[in-house]
A and B are shown apart, each in its own frame.
Chain A
Amino acid sequence: MKTHTSWLAGASLLALAASSTGIAQAQEVEGARKYGDIRTVTQRMPNAAAGDGNNFLHTNHNYRQTRFYPNAQINTANVHRLRPAWIFQTDVKETMETTPIVVNGVMYVTTAFNHVYALDARTGEQLWHYKHKLGPITVYCCGPNNRGVAAYGDMVYMGTLDAKLVALDAKTGKLVWETQIADPELGYSETMAPIAVDGKILIGTNGGEYGVRGFVKAFDAKTGKLVWTFYTIPENSVGVWATHDFAGRDLKRDIAAEKEALAKLGDPYKTLGGGVWQPPAVDLERRRIYFVVGNPSPDLDGSLRPGDNLYTDSLVAVELDTGKYVCHFQYIPHDVWDLDAVSPPILVDVRDKDGKLVPGVLHGGKIGHLFVHKRDDCSLIRFSEAMIPQEDMWTLPTKEGARMLPGANGGVEWSPKAVNEKLGLVYVMNLHQPMTYHVESTPYPGGKLWLGGAFKVIPTEEQWGVLSAVDYHTGKIRWELEAERPLVGGVLATAGGLVFFGEGNGRFNAVDAATGAVLWSFRAGAGLNAPPASYTVDDQQYIVVAAGGNTQLDYKRGNNIIAFSLAD
């Protein structure tokens, strides 16, 4: 379970001795004297993260993005004794989607508007605070979000709303370098946590609502120099003129009209959107990354973008070292509902159609299915039963507004999933929020919001959320748990047989991973819409989560980081 304890043990004892003796010693943490230089994240640490029961090195715990924390100190038998250990209040009371990263007892958390805090993970004491000076122009659709840092070497890395990548000294929070990733005036912004691997920092972009051309870029971790760029929109984005989706449902495309538009307008690749705003999974063995690409621009108006709009609404794999295309699977060719692919993919072994265990990829889409792919060629092995109601798919948007379920927020929004490989279950957050889809064609507005119409929540219809445990070897839903409001934020599974998730009404829950029985709940007082994490310091396991509410679903805002541990 604990893979890096040998060299930590000495430091831990020291830390324990110091922690009880008050402020003077506590200050010493600041200079990292207690821990020496072991805050440094060497490549072997993230490589072994899946088995690391101390740290939380990656916003989805490890390169395979399983969000399975391999420590069982907090478990089904004792979780009822879970209590807040400390609460840290940030200076920014706005939407929180951050996953705390923990490296050898130091925690890094981010807030809306790109603040970063380093905290003593045992006490919540602040070590440093970095406030990014945002440039005058930021353009983003869905709240001033940030989802966390990447910790690597002696630095922590954050993407910013003004489309920069910043590298901070992990010890002091001082800026080491910054790189402009793209032009914010054209609708580019950053909210995702970057991924650090083999000397590179990987990051995508937001902007699918602004007519950007999406990408994933790799930067040199030491210097910030660009290493490679993969455009999610190839210069030929037309595809195969698919008329049906993966389930054989008619997409109701007017292919003749599209072909005519293509002849007239040319390939729309320059403004076709296709953001990547969730971290890629890394397959170190195959030296590939797997990520999902968001919706085409403009969201609702297909008339200006003939073709399948490759590789929007797709799972895509590229080479880790070069960014070269490997394979893709498109869920919705020529999407006009913004029902794209956003929740980060997970790499696990899955049973193929013949029952053979093969390397797989899991992704939960806004349409409300859990997709199971073959890692080799991205092909689809199966998709789960629908986790939320689907009605009248695929009804085209109209001027007056057409109702179709799911609404444009999903299904599965960006919320990261978690797996328990022993049980063969993936835990997926869903929401049900009925909307009407309205289309109104407007030309490319040069970096302004470009929906090509409007999404409208139907105020008279009920909304709710559901956490679904899906058996990914069969596609069957094993158990599900309804929530009173739409669920967004993410899930954590642990070796203690537990699954943790938060709700918009502020409830934080621990449920039995096998049955879904609710074993523990806590009221945070603000929307709990960020992915939980776990870590262990001085032999004490903690669960940590941000309670800051959510802009997009207008859940009550807050500014708390809450760490829980077992009461005696």
Chain B
Amino acid sequence: MLMKRVSLVFMIACALGLPLAIQRVGGGAELRPPAAEIPGVDELPPHLAELVPMCLACHGENGVPNYAESPVIDGQHEGYTYIQLRDYKNGARKHEVMNEIVKDLSRQELRELAAFFAKRPWPRLEQQAEEGDDILAERLASAGMCKECHLDDYMGESTVPRLAGQLTSYLVATMRAFKTKERANNAAMSNLLDTYTDEEIDALARYLGAL
């Protein structure tokens, strides 16, 4: 999409005009509150605070993502969010928009952004699973020992992400990306998901999204 170096300002414009590449979930992208009106944003240095409205344009002003591919980041664990931003920066995780957004930010800045989003409340997405998903998914999760790391209620901790109530369409996409190694920043997750069919991954995603 964007191969050349582009300015952040251009990125923001680009981000907001992205529905070509990214499928819209709901309204709100154009609502962009001014930075100053976002709760807690004053704890960030001004140049980071400036970035937040752009993040929210995709990840959702009230935490509900605006696009099917954008994950919930509000209320996600600080350690996990930081590690993802770090991985987007060093290229271990590839996504053209996210790579571009974080490329000039320092470790300290990434940590501050992660801390900011971690303090925001996790949104309720009210997603439904399908009939029979729970039985299948619980069997699949037990075989994969998912709870050993994601913990008892899939709430995660620190650098292990919360999965409960994450956007289902994103979970499908990212688990399939782990499987094909398109998402290559965790070999253990890739090896594990490689043993599941796409249909099984879909059922797991619907189950987790509905928790």
Question: Contacts A440-B187, A459-B143 hold; do A454 and B115 have CB atoms under 8 A apart?
Answer: no
Residue in A137, A445, A557 whose beta carbon sits within 8 Å of that of B158 in the complex: A137
In the bound complex, residues from chain A placing their C-beta under 8 Å from that of B77 are 136
Per-residue B-contact encoding for A231-250, CB less than 8 Å = 1, 0 else: 00000000000000000000
Interface residues on A, range: 20 to 34
> Which of B45-53, B129-137, B144-152, B198-206 forms contacts with chain A?
B144-152
A144 to B160, alpha carbons, bound, how many Å?
11
Q: Which residue of A lies closest to B158 (CB)?
A: A138
Asked if B101 is at the interface (CB within 8 A of a chain A CB), the reply is no
**Do the beta carbons of B188 and A449 come within 8 Å of each other?**
yes
Q: Which residue of A lies closest to B115 (CB)?
A: A136
Asked if B192 is at the interface (CB within 8 A of a chain A CB), the reply is yes
Q: Which of A136, A143, A557 has the most CB of B within 10 A?
A: A136
Question: Contacts A94-B151, A136-B158, A449-B188 hold; do A554 and B78 have CB atoms under 8 A apart?
Answer: no
Chain B residues numbered 183-203 whose CB sits less than 8 Å from any CB in chain A? 185-188, 191-192, 195
Counting from the closest, the 5 A-B pairs by CB-CB distance are A136-B78, A138-B158, A442-B187, A449-B188, A137-B79
Question: Contacts A445-B187, A454-B192, A554-B142 hold; do A137 and B147 have CB atoms under 8 A apart?
Answer: no
Asked if A40 is at the interface (CB within 8 A of a chain B CB), the reply is no
B12 CB → nearest A CB, Å: 27
Interface residues on B, range: 20 to 34
Residue in A143, A448, A459 whose beta carbon sits within 8 Å of that of B185 in the complex: A448
Asked if A142 is at the interface (CB within 8 A of a chain B CB), the reply is yes
**20 A–B pairs (Cβ distance < 8 Å), ordered by A:** A93-B152, A113-B157, A135-B79, A136-B111, A136-B118, A137-B158, A137-B159, A144-B157, A161-B158, A185-B83, A446-B92, A448-B185, A448-B188, A451-B188, A451-B191, A459-B143, A551-B147, A551-B148, A552-B148, A554-B148
Question: Contacts A453-B191, A554-B147 hold; do A138 and B157 have CB atoms under 8 A apart?
Answer: yes
Q: Which residue of A lies closest to B149 (CB)?
A: A141
In the bound complex, residues from chain B placing their C-beta under 8 Å from that of A445 are 92, 185-187
B90 CB → nearest A CB, Å: 8
A453 to B191, alpha carbons, bound, how many Å?
7
Asked if B29 is at the interface (CB within 8 A of a chain A CB), the reply is no
Asked if B175 is at the interface (CB within 8 A of a chain A CB), the reply is no
Chain B residues numbered 156-179 whose CB sits less than 8 Å from any CB in chain A? 157-159
A445 to B92, alpha carbons, bound, how many Å?
9
A185 to B92, alpha carbons, bound, how many Å?
15
Asked if B114 is at the interface (CB within 8 A of a chain A CB), the reply is yes
Asked if B207 is at the interface (CB within 8 A of a chain A CB), the reply is no
**Do the beta carbons of B158 and A448 come within 8 Å of each other?**
no
A457 to B144, alpha carbons, bound, how many Å?
9
A557 to B10, alpha carbons, bound, how many Å?
50
In the bound complex, residues from chain B placing their C-beta under 8 Å from that of A185 are 83
Asked if B82 is at the interface (CB within 8 A of a chain A CB), the reply is yes
